[in-house]
């Protein structure tokens, strides 16, 4: 009987379920989110569930963060492209940081050109991986204060796409 139960509930599923129950409270330093948009495909897909922790330090380029779009009062998930103090722009479909073209392996579509944005010491520039589908990113909202973000730590559902993020 135990073997039958173990076939149904594998260790990852059980672990993810326990994490979700423990950390689903919004007042803690870890939150559970449901991905609702397609702008981060294929890294994150709609109807997937993730855990994120409150960002305390400056993120790294490529980190995935969650923040509140105050205009629409919704949480959105995007990738960090520009870091505090940098100058970010797009020319001919490429991202430039401080006038240098960056390696942008996350982009799954071209980005429309946008004007230079100078980031303050407490701001980051975020974009979705599917740049043509992405809305509610720094092109429309402007820079985001990184201390208001949550850093993606784990995708726990569906269990066959379980992944941890550093």
CA atoms within 13 A on the CB side of 97: 15
Cis amide linkage into residue 158, ω under 30° from 0? yes
Q: Which alpha helices (DSSP H) does 24-160 contain, by range?
A: 138-141
Q: Can you list the domains of the chain with their CATH numbers?
A: 2-159 (2.10.109.10)
CB 35 within 8 A of CB 49: yes
Among residues 78, 73, 35, 75, the alpha carbon closest in space to that of 59 is found at: 78
> Could you report the per-residue pLDDT of 50-67, keeping only the tens digit for each?
999 999 899 999 999 999
Among residues 160, 145, 131, 138, the alpha carbon closest in space to that of 56 is found at: 145
Q: Are strands 87-91 and 94-97 parallel, antiparallel or unpaired?
A: antiparallel
Distance CA 166, CA 104 (A): 18
> Could you report the per-residue pLDDT of 76-132, keeping only the tens digit for each?
999 999 999 999 999 888 899 999 999 888 888 778 888 899 999 999 999 999 988
φ, ψ at 148 (rounded to 5°): -95, 5
DSSP run (H or E) holding 91: strand 87-91
> Which pLDDT score is estimated for 122?
96
């Amino acid at each position: 009987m135990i073997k039958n139960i173990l076939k149904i509930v594998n260790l990852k599923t059980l672990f993810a379920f326990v994490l979700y129950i423990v950390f689903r409270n919004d007042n803690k330093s870890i939150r559970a989110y449901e991905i609702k948009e397609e702008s981060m495909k294929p890294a994150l897909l709609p109807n997937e569930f993730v855990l994120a922790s409150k960002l305390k330090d400056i993120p790294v380029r490529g980190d995935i963060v969650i923040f509140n779009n105050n205009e629409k009062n919704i949480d959105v998930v995007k990738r960090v492209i520009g870091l505090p103090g940098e100058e970010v722009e797009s020319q001919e479909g490429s991202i430039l940081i401080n006038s240098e073209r960056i390696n942008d392996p996350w982009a799954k579509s071209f980005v429309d050109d946008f004007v230079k944005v100078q980031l303050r010491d407490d701001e980051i520039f975020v974009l979705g991986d599917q740049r043509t589908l992405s809305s509610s990113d720094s092109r429309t909202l402007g820079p985001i204060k990184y201390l208001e973000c949550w850093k993606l730590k784990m995708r726990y559902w569906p269990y066959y796409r379980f992944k941890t993020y550093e």
